[in-house]
Structures are given as structure tokens and as C-alpha cells.
Amino acid sequence: MAKDTYTTHQVADMAGVHRDTLLRWLREGRIPEPGRDRNNWRAFSREEADAVVRFAKGISESNLAKVAERQASYVTGGAYSQSVPRLSLLDWDFVDANTGFLTHSIHPYPAKFIPQIPNTLIQELSSIGDTVLDPFCGSGTMSVEALRLGRHAIGLDANPLSCLISKVKTTKISQSEADELLGLADEIKDLGQQTSLGNLPLFPDMPSFTAATRPTFRGVEDWFDEHVIDELAFVKKKCRSLTQENARQLALVAMSSIIVTVSRQDSDTRYVRRDKNTQLGDTFSRFSRALLDTTQKALEFAREVDSRWNVQIIEANILDQPDIGSVDLVVCSPPYPNAYSYHLYHRTRMLWLDMNQPDFKKIEIGSHRKYSRKGSNGATVETFRGELDTIFAWLARQLRPKRHACFVIGDSVIKGEKVKNDELLIKVAKKHGFVLEANIKRNLQATRKSFNPKIGKIRDEHIVILRNAGGEL
């Protein structure tokens, strides 16, 4: 490092902020990137360092009064007493933020939150070495961010597909696993080219060759062209024959990531049929590209994350209140009435991967199927209130006293009536000894799809920050 330049650590120190905060400002483009030294480490010149100090000071001076005012209205005590007021002042819209870095974009997942949200909450409300839980981990966004920030992560979800994606997103693959995967990507790429040119007499004996991996679920021919079934069954056989477990799981996630595209399902959030004219060899080519991309991203993730931090992904129904040990922070976006029907949007993927889709359908919280049912069997706001009650009784035991639980949640419309889920959640949480520290509204980007076309566009959501008072009330 040249004499007149400073490291990220030194500049964070000069500015009086944590290094993670400085990195966040850089990522969010709030301060310009400095130059790099010969090892590609950031090297701040004197002027660049001064600019950071001025920015940090500007933030603190202009917001000091507001922070003090907000603080007066909070009951927070202890190590994170400054954090919640600071969080309340942030701009949570993260317009133009890059959300697809590392393994975040390897598989589509409806309603995943952008990584910047858990990242910010984890930085402010936990310390290095803490354990952070996402009890509805979906595609694993929170766990990826927790590991990057030097925390242990626990992700829980009732959806087996979600658990598989989360595992793959947070696994540090080895070079030998990557080599095995890249070999497969090459092999299938070749097959894709040959098949599209009609050069391979591959298909006459395909059904017997892939007998073990051809799906037999109801309606498979309605959702997939015959040649797509052949190619997917072949790909699945190849994935299964990989010798290393991590490689096998990653390859299956790459396969799952293309299933909706090559099927007749309209999109990831519309379970209606549409012809897409998928050509011979397309499935092979798409899989090979997805596999290459996923492997490269997994390698990048492995390089960035230190092996001291571990992750546990647990497949469980939260309403069974599984014992997962104590945690220091909870960050999640829970399912809520009428927002999504994961069992439906993921149906063909789950069946291709031999997962128990009917069982997940029974235990999924919030699914449109349950809330649109007429008569006494239909779910109501009371159903959701009861589920929240079970969840908070459990969380009060799992989350250490005085630590925080953060929920990103929007509104629902149930049988034509608007339900403010943030208010409902806060009411139930208070019953179980949680204190409300902040309820922050954030705008959703205009381009984002509405949840359910029948209930209209959802334009904003809430970040609810609670603290487990743990008997102090």
C-alpha cells in the first residue's frame, strides 16, 4: 500500500463508523469508489478519505436532532440502542441497487426480499459471530447475507424446494466439485448443439435410457412438450450421476431454475398454460448455461465467505415449533394471506425433483387456495391471527431476550377486505412479550409485479422491528 493511501479499515476508523457501514455506503453508491492497489485492495487517497469523513459527519450532523427525537420515543436499551433510530432514517427503497450479485440470482423465487434489506438489518442489529435466523427462508437471501457479514445463519422453510435452493446458495463448493460441474455443463452444451441440428439419433431409445428419471405426475404431458420431457429426464439422470453431493445438489438447482421457462407454465407467478414453442435442444442449451452460471457464482461465493461461519437449513413447518436453539436476531419476510401460492407456482419443479408437493400444499401459510375457498372451510383473518400466535409463542423462546425480530410484510385483501398485516402482527407479538421499536414503510419498485392480479397492485410494505423484552415488561 502506498504511503499516502489508506485502507478501508483505516478510513472507517477515521470516519467513526464500522467497516461494514463504509462498505455498504460504497455498494449503495453514496460515496465514490476509491482506487485500488496492486493487490486490488481499496486504497483511499487523502482526498477520498476526507470525503468519507465529511460524508459521515454530514450524516450525523444533519440527522442528530432527528435521531435524538426518535430515540426519545423508543424504549430500547443495551448494545443496539442507537441502531433502531438510525435504521428509521435510512432510505429503504434501494432504487437501482444491484440485487443479483453472488448466488442471489441463481434461481427465481417469488417475493424474495432484496439482499440490501437483510444486510442492513443484520449489520445494525447484530455483531460478528452472532446467529441470525430466517424462519421463512425461501430462497436463502438472508442466509447468504448473514454469512457474508460474518454471522452464523439458520434458515427454516416448509418448502423442500426452498431448502434445496437455500443450501446451494450458501454452500462453499470446492474446486473439484466445480470441475465436475463444468464438465457436465460442457457435455450438455454439446448435446444441445447436436440435438438442435438434428444430428443425434438420441431420442429413439431415450425413454428406456431415462426410465428411472421420467416423471409420472398427473398432467406432465399437459405442462411439457414430449421432447422437453426427454431432455429434462436425461439432464436429471446426469445430475444424479455426479459423484459429489454438493455438485449433485447444485446441478439439480440449475435444472430446477429452467423448468418453468421450458414448460408451458406462463411464468413463475402464473400457473396457466401457454405454448412457448420450445425447440429441440433448447432445454439442453438452457441447462448448460444455467449450470455454468450457477457454478461460477457458487465459486465466487466460496471465495468471499470465510469458513468460520456456518449455516443450517432446516425443512420444517414453523407451526410445529421446531427446537432450533437460541438465536440473536430474526430477519424474515413471512408468508401472508393471499400473497402467493408457492405450492402451485413451484408444482412442476417440485414434482420433477421428486419432492412431496401435496404435503407442502397442506401446511403452506397464506396460500391463495386456502383464502379463496368459500364456506366454513375457507381461511379468514382469524386463521392468520392464530398462526401468528403460534409463531410468536415459539419465537419468544428461540430469540434471546432484548434481541430483535424484523419482519418485512405487506397488506392482504381477504374476501374483498383490506387487512393491515403489520398492525395484526404487532398486536399478536405484543401479547408474547415483544416491544415495537419501529414500523418503517418502504415503496416497492413500480416495475415489480403485483402479487395476485385479483387483489391488485401492492405498492408498499412495512419493515416491522420488534424487540423480545424477555420478561422485562
Closest to ligand SAM by CB, 127 vs 317, is: 317
Question: Measured from the CB of residue 171, what is the shortest distance to ligand SAM in angstroms?
Answer: 16
The contact set with ligand SAM (CB under 6 A) reads 109, 111-113, 136, 138-139, 141, 157-159, 162, 317-319, 333, 335, 342, 363-365
How big is the CA angle at 312 (ends 309 and 317), to the nearest 5 degrees?
Answer: 155
Burial class (CB in 10 A: 0-12, 13-18, 19+), 306: exposed
Burial class (CB in 10 A: 0-12, 13-18, 19+), 63: middle
Closest to ligand SAM by CB, 238 vs 343, is: 343
Closest to ligand SAM by CB, 245 vs 359, is: 359
Residue nearest to ligand SAM (CB): 138
Question: Measured from the CB of residue 467, what is the shortest distance to ligand SAM in angstroms?
Answer: 21
Closest to ligand SAM by CB, 59 vs 149, is: 149
Question: Measured from the CB of residue 183, what is the shortest distance to ligand SAM in angstroms?
Answer: 30
Closest to ligand SAM by CB, 14 vs 316, is: 316
- Round to whole Å and give the CA distance between 18 and 38: 25
Question: Measured from the CB of residue 82, what is the shortest distance to ligand SAM in angstroms?
Answer: 26
C-alpha cell of residue 260:
418453468
- 260 close to 224: Cβ distance less than 8 angstroms: no
C-alpha cell of residue 163:
431448502
- 364 close to 341: Cβ distance less than 8 angstroms: yes
- 235 close to 255: Cβ distance less than 8 angstroms: yes
Question: Measured from the CB of residue 251, what is the shortest distance to ligand SAM in angstroms?
Answer: 21
Closest to ligand SAM by CB, 262 vs 344, is: 344
C-alpha cell of residue 201:
439419433
Closest to ligand SAM by CB, 223 vs 336, is: 336
Question: Measured from the CB of residue 275, what is the shortest distance to ligand SAM in angstroms?
Answer: 29
Amino acid sitting at position 56 = A
20: three-class secondary structure by DSSP: helix
Question: Measured from the CB of residue 137, what is the shortest distance to ligand SAM in angstroms?
Answer: 6
- Round to whole Å and give the CA distance between 384 and 336: 8
